[in-house]
Amino acid sequence: MIAVIGSSNVDMVINVDDFTLPGQTQKGLELSYYPGGKGANQAVTSRLLGGEVYFLTCLGNDGNAQMMKRELEAIDLGNGIRYVDSPNGVALIEVSSSGENRIIVYPGANSHLSPEIIADSRESLLKADILLLQNEIPFESTLYAAKLFSEAGKTVIFDPAPSSNIDKSILRYVSIITPNETEMAELAGYNLGIEEATAKLHKMGCEDVLLKRGNKGVFFSGRSKSLVVPAFKVRAIDSTAAGDVFNGAFACSLDRGLDLHASLRYACAAAALSVTRRGAQKSIPRNEEIGSLLGE
Dihedral sign from CA coordinates of 284, 287, 288, 292:
positive
Of the candidates 62, 244, 255, 259, the residue annotated as catalytic is: 244
85 labeled part of a ligand binding site? no
217 labeled part of a ligand binding site? yes
253 labeled part of a ligand binding site? no
Looking only at the bridges linking them, the beta strands covering 218-221 and 226-229 are antiparallel
- Which helix (H) or strand (E) segment is 210 a member of? strand 208-212
88 labeled part of a ligand binding site? no
167 labeled part of a ligand binding site? no
Task: Return the amino acid letter for 1.
Answer: M
Q: Which residues contact 131 (CB under 8 A, 6 or more apart)?
A: 2, 3, 4, 5, 125, 145, 146, 149, 154, 155, 156, 157
- Which helix (H) or strand (E) segment is 94 a member of? strand 89-95
Let me know if 244 is a catalytic residue: yes
* Distance between CA atoms of residues 111 and 57, nearest Å: 10
70 labeled part of a ligand binding site? no
248 labeled part of a ligand binding site? no
108 labeled part of a ligand binding site? no
238 labeled part of a ligand binding site? yes
Q: Which residues contact 159 (CB under 8 A, 6 or more apart)?
A: 38, 42, 132, 133, 134, 135, 177, 178, 179, 243, 244, 247
Q: Contact 245/146 with Cβ under 8 angstroms?
A: no
6 labeled part of a ligand binding site? no
Q: Which residues contact 270 (CB under 8 A, 6 or more apart)?
A: 45, 49, 245, 246, 248, 249, 284, 285, 290
41 labeled part of a ligand binding site? yes
23 labeled part of a ligand binding site? no
* Distance between CA atoms of residues 154 and 274, nearest Å: 28
28 labeled part of a ligand binding site? no
247 labeled part of a ligand binding site? no
Q: Active-site positions?
A: 244
* Residues that constitute the known binding site for K(+): 238, 240, 274, 277, 279, 283
Can you say which residues are annotated as belonging to the binding site for substrate? Answer: 9-11, 37-41, 136, 244
- Which residues participate in the annotated binding site for ATP? 180, 212-217, 243-244
Q: Residues marked as binding? A: 9-11, 37-41, 136, 180, 212-217, 238, 240, 243-244, 274, 277, 279, 283
